[in-house]
Amino acid sequence: MPVLGVNVDHIATLRQARYRDDLKSPLAEPDPVTLARTAEKAGAQGITVHLREDRRHIQEIDVRRLRREAKTSLNLEMAVTPAMVAFALRLRPDEACLVPESREEVTTEGGLDVVGREKAVADAVRKLSKAGVEVSLFIDPQPAQIEAAARVGAPCIELHTGAYANATTPAKVRAALERQKKAAALAKSLGLRVNAGHGLNYKNVPPFLKAVPGLHTLNIGHSIVSRALAVGFGPAVAEMAALLRK
Ligand code: PXP
C-alpha cells in the first residue's frame, strides 16, 4: 500500500494571484504551510513543494517554514541547477525530487532526461545524498531513463504518470498502464524505490494501483486541491488517503 504525498503548490498559486507583493500581510491567504499541516492531520505522509525558478507559486519563505513546521516527510521538487542544489543543501529536506524545468511550461511536462544529463544529475545526486537527503528522479517510464537513474546512484525514482492520466481511449490507458508496470518492475529489480505522480486523481488512482504494484509513494496535488473547493482540504486529503489504503 503506497503512502500519500500531498503537493501544496496550487495553494500557493491561489495566494500569489492576490498577495504576490504582500506575502507578509496577515491577510495573505490561503497559506500552504497551514494547509500542509491540515493535510498531515488528514492522512498525508509527506508534503511536496516545487520551488520553481520563476517562483510562480511556492516561495523560499514557504519552504523554510515547511522545514520547521511539517511533521511528515518534506519532499522538495527542484531543477538540477547549481542554485537549487545549494538551496537544498542549506534546507536539508527529507527528500529531493529532481525535475526538469523550463520557464514556458505551465506545469512539469515531461520527465528528467537522465540519459542526456547524466553527469550533472550524478553530481547533484552525490551532493544531496552526502547531505542525508533522499534523492528521487522524476522520469518517464522508459527503460533507458530507469537504467540511467540506477547508474547515477539515485536511491529512488518517481514515475511520471502524465501520459497515463492524459490517455483518452481504453487501449491507450491499457498501454500506458503496461508501460508503468514494466517500468516499476525494472526499477525495483535495480534496487530503486518507486514513487509516482502527475495528473493522478480520484478516478484514475484505483486502476493505477491495481495495475502497478509495489509503489512507495503517490505524490498528488491538483486533483486534491480542486476537490477541496467542494468538500474542504482535510476531507479531500482523507478521501485520497482512503483510496490508497483500499
Ligand atoms: N510529482 C511531480 C514530480 C510533479 O512535478 C507534480 C506536478 O507539480 C506532481 C507530482 C503532482 O502533479 P498533480 O498536481 O498533477 O497531482
Predicted pLDDT of residue 136: 98
Ligand 1: which residue has its CA nearest to atom 9?
Answer: 198
- CA-CA distance, 205 to 180, in Å (whole number)? 13
Predicted pLDDT of residue 88: 98
**Residues with beta carbon inside 6 Å of ligand 1?**
7, 9, 50, 77, 97, 99, 107-108, 138, 158, 197-200, 219-223
- CA-CA distance, 205 to 155, in Å (whole number)? 24
**Interval 126-140 mean pLDDT:** 98
CA–centroid distance, 98 to ligand 1, in Å, is 12
Inform me whether the pLDDT recorded for 230 exceeds 90.
yes
Inform me whether the pLDDT recorded for 85 exceeds 80.
yes
Predicted pLDDT of residue 105: 62
Catalytic residue check, 178: no
**Interval 2-26 mean pLDDT:** 95
CA–centroid distance, 7 to ligand 1, in Å, is 7
User: Position 50: which residue type?
Assistant: H
- CA-CA distance, 51 to 58, in Å (whole number)? 6
List, for residues 88-126, the tens digit of each pLDDT value: 999 999 999 999 987 556 655 689 999 999 999 999 999
- CA-CA distance, 91 to 71, in Å (whole number)? 15
Helix (H) or strand (E) holding 96: strand 95-98
The one catalytic residue in 10, 50, 57, 160 is 50
Cβ partners under 8 Å of residue 191, min gap 6: 150
Predicted pLDDT of residue 107: 58
φ, ψ dihedrals at 154, nearest 5°: -70, 140
CA–centroid distance, 204 to ligand 1, in Å, is 14
Residue, of 224 and 105, whose pLDDT is higher: 224
Predicted pLDDT of residue 24: 87
Predicted pLDDT of residue 110: 87
- Largest Cα–Cα separation, the chain: 51
pLDDT bucket at 177, cuts 50 / 70 / 90:
very high
Catalytic residue check, 50: yes
- CA-CA distance, 126 to 223, in Å (whole number)? 33
Predicted pLDDT of residue 246: 86
Predicted pLDDT of residue 106: 60
C-alpha cell, 42: 488528514
% of residues, the chain, pLDDT over 70: 97
Average pLDDT, the chain: 96
Distances (CA, A) of 241 to 27, 42, 153: 30, 8, 30
Rg, C-alpha atoms of the chain: 17
Inform me whether the pLDDT recorded for 52 exceeds 70.
yes
Least confidently predicted of 54-63, 97-106, 223-232: 97-106
